[in-house]
Amino acid sequence: MTRVCLLIPFFICRIALYDMKGGDEMKVTLTVENASGLHARPAAMIAEEAGQFQADVKLHANGRTAAATDVLQIMGLGITCGTEVTVEASGEEETAAVYTLAGMLAAKKIYR
């Protein structure tokens, strides 16, 4: 397991430490910092962003899994502030997808 520190602007969120798993897919585990969790609007932003990548992206939280491109599945994960989420991707743009979505999920506020 490799430890990587992504630097996200301090005014958006705390610096987050991620666990990456090598192999056929890439995984990153983080803690959601958004005080409101993932309600409809941030879930829609995550889904829209995930759809931009040539990768199969999934979110894992609270013992459940969701396609990162499906707003209702994301909301069904019940992600609140402090929830640990794993972003997993496989495909041509897996690295970009994981870093982008992990940065959005770790942010105190999700911006577009």
What is the percent of the chain with per-residue pLDDT over 90, rounded to a whole number? 50
The rounded mean pLDDT for the chain is 81
Spell out the alpha helix ranges (H) of 5-111.
40-50, 71-76, 94-106
Find the range with the poorest average confidence among 29-43, 48-62, 67-81. 29-43
Look at residue 3 and tell me whether its pLDDT is greater than 90: no
Look at residue 2 and tell me whether its pLDDT is greater than 50: no
CA distance 78 to 76: 5
Fold of 35-106: Histidine-containing Protein; Chain: A; (3.30.1340)
- Can you give the pLDDT at residue 68? 98
CA distance 108 to 24: 30
Q: Report long-range pairs for 17-24 (Cβ below 8 Å, ≥24 apart).
A: 18/102, 24/90
Question: Binning pLDDT at 50, 70 and 90, where does residue 24 land?
Answer: confident
Catalytic residues: 39
